[in-house]
Each structure stands twice: as structure tokens, then as C-alpha cells.
Amino acid sequence: MKNLRMKAARAALDLSQQQLADAVGVTRQTINAIERGDYNPTIKLCLAICRALGRTLDELFWEE
């Protein structure tokens, strides 16, 4: 499932995939794969992304 909420949160902060990747210590390809729904990140990476984007786990990763 695509993670459009993460993509929207990143765009709202005017961050590129590369900038977010640098902030959380992964490659741009990893961020791209998460947003496309092709990669299931670890909880540690999820938390790092949440901190970088100023969002909660529920806001970015909880599937309803």
C-alpha cells in the first residue's frame, strides 16, 4: 500500500526524498520504496521518519 501520508508530510515541509533520507540515515531509494509501498520499514526507521517530519506513527503509518 502506498504511503501517501508520508509523501504529503514530506512535501508539506518542502523536503526532497534525498533530504529526508539524509535526515534519517537511509538512501533516497529507501524513502522512494516506502512511499511506493514496496518496502516495509523497521519501527526504528518509522520513528526516525516521524521525528524528521514532526508527525506521529499513527499519522504516517497506521492503516485504517
pLDDT single digits (tens) 2-57: 899 999 999 999 999 999 999 999 999 999 999 999 999 999 999 999 999 999 99
Q: Which domains does the chain have, with CATH numbers?
A: 4-61 (1.10.260.40)
pLDDT at 1: 78
Query: pLDDT band at 63, cuts 50/70/90?
Result: confident
Burial environment of residue 43 by CB neighbours within 10 A (0 to 12, 13 to 18, 19 or more):
exposed
Q: How far is CA 6 from CA 2, 48, in A?
A: 9, 12
- Dist CA 23 CA 8 (whole Å): 17
pLDDT at 32: 98
pLDDT of residue 64 exceeding 80:
no
